[in-house]
Amino acid sequence: MRTSWTIRHGAPLAIAPIAPASPPARSPAMPSNASWSARGRPAATVAGSTIRAGTPPSAAKARFGTDEKSLSPVPPRRAVETARYRARRAPSRGVPWPQVIVVPLKEPVEERHRLRWAVAAHRALVKLIGYGAPPLVTGAYPAGAPRPANRLALHLLGPGMPCEAAAGQGLAILVPRDAHPSDLEVLHRAVEGLTSVRGPGGKVIQADQAGVQVLDGSRFWLPPGPGRVRLWRTVPAAVPDTRGSRGQEWTFAHAALLSLGFVWKDRLPRVAGHGEDYYRGLAAATTERGAAVVHVKAVRASDVSQYVHKVNEHAVVRPYTAYLWLGDLAGPGTVQAIGQSRHLGGGLLVPFDIAEGTSAGSVSLPGAVSAGSGS
């Protein structure tokens, strides 16, 4: 039995079995206080029909009448409740991930383990789908097929994050722009079956299917308070998408701007060139939209599995934490992630609000240093 997924800004996702004769989505002519419920209604209707079929009306009762009084039996009212239809709000198409499916988890996941748990959740979804899982989910595209700027991304939310999702603790599944409807249907069925996730060390965390929500990716984060300005910080650390430029100065600030460019390249002016010229041009395109790196710091770690899932054995993994200003590139509620691991738990940009009028040099940023730190 398939289920109904309704996107409501900031409201819980209503999932209810759909009866064979389910009513259509509300149209302008449908009253807002229409009374209908699918839960148990088919069974009650069948039971009522069975009773009526066993007791045919007498000849006297079956005669025609001269008034307009209905002779039909009253339908059973069991399993009927009042429901209100709400106009569906189309998700914003101007952001990298316009929809976010949030699956609440009954235990929090520490920041240093979030990438591994995101990988575990991704494997669980692929297993639930089985053979023929679409590239949207697997990330594996056929040879020669165009690759989108962003694909399905999985991130772990932590307690205290200022997001619209209730409790702010769970698995966030970021759905990219232009995802095919048939792929979304496959994804939705897999999410319905995700009752738990088995993570590192065989630990299992239960999912709360009753609390699943679908949120607008352009309004995922709560707005900043009065007199506050929004910066963004990478949680967990991000990993550069490329090795950078060898011939000229290239810092982690350049790497962060380039990663922003990769995420938003469909909404930026076309950048000419290849290789290092293209990378510098794409990073410059983000600064033209007002993006800037306020602080950045390299992360020294021997266990790089906290920051990246797969990497070439000869590659050097150089994670970093950054505090960014996005200018007019993104709104204050936009959900996004940057870096090589942005599709599997790394580089999630989480709001970091400061008082309006505060100078960059006087902002206290835990664990941050100047944006000029080299890479």
pLDDT for position 2? 45
Res 116 pLDDT > 70: yes
Does residue 192 belong to any structural domain of this protein? yes
pLDDT for position 217? 93
What is the pLDDT of the chain when averaged over all its residues? 79
Domain count, the chain: 2
Q: Do 177 and 104 share a structural domain?
A: yes
Res 55 pLDDT > 70: no
Does residue 19 belong to any structural domain of this protein? no
Does residue 10 belong to any structural domain of this protein? no
Q: Do 238 and 202 share a structural domain?
A: no
Strands (E), the chain: 99-104, 153-157, 170-175, 196-198, 204-206, 213-216, 228-235, 292-298, 320-325, 348-355
State the average pLDDT over residues 320-333.
94
Our CA angle for 123, 311, 99, nearest 5°, is 45
**Residue 133's domain is classified under what CATH number?**
3.30.70
Does residue 304 belong to any structural domain of this protein? yes
Does residue 208 belong to any structural domain of this protein? yes
> 287 in helix, strand or coil?
helix
Query: pLDDT for 267-292, tens place per residue?
Result: 998 988 888 889 999 999 999 999 99
Instruction: Name the pLDDT band for 78 (thresholds 50, 70, 90).
Output: low
Q: Do 357 and 247 share a structural domain?
A: yes
Could you tell me whether strands 196-198 and 170-175 are parallel, antiparallel, or unpaired per DSSP bridges? unpaired
**Looking at 216, 245, 262, which one is the last position of a domain?**
216
Res 131 pLDDT > 50: yes
* Spatial distance between the Cα atoms of 265 and 17, rounded to a whole number of angstroms: 40
State the average pLDDT over residues 16-21.
39
* Domain containing residue 305: 228-362
First to last CA, the chain: 53
CB atoms closer than 10 angstroms to residue 179: 19
Laid out side by side, the sheet with 292-298 consists of: 292-298, 320-325, 228-235, 348-355
* Of 257 and 48, the one with more pLDDT: 257
pLDDT for position 373? 46
0.85 exceeded by the pTM? no
Res 216 pLDDT > 80: yes
Does residue 76 belong to any structural domain of this protein? no
Q: Do 339 and 235 share a structural domain?
A: yes
pLDDT for position 29? 39
Res 363 pLDDT > 70: no
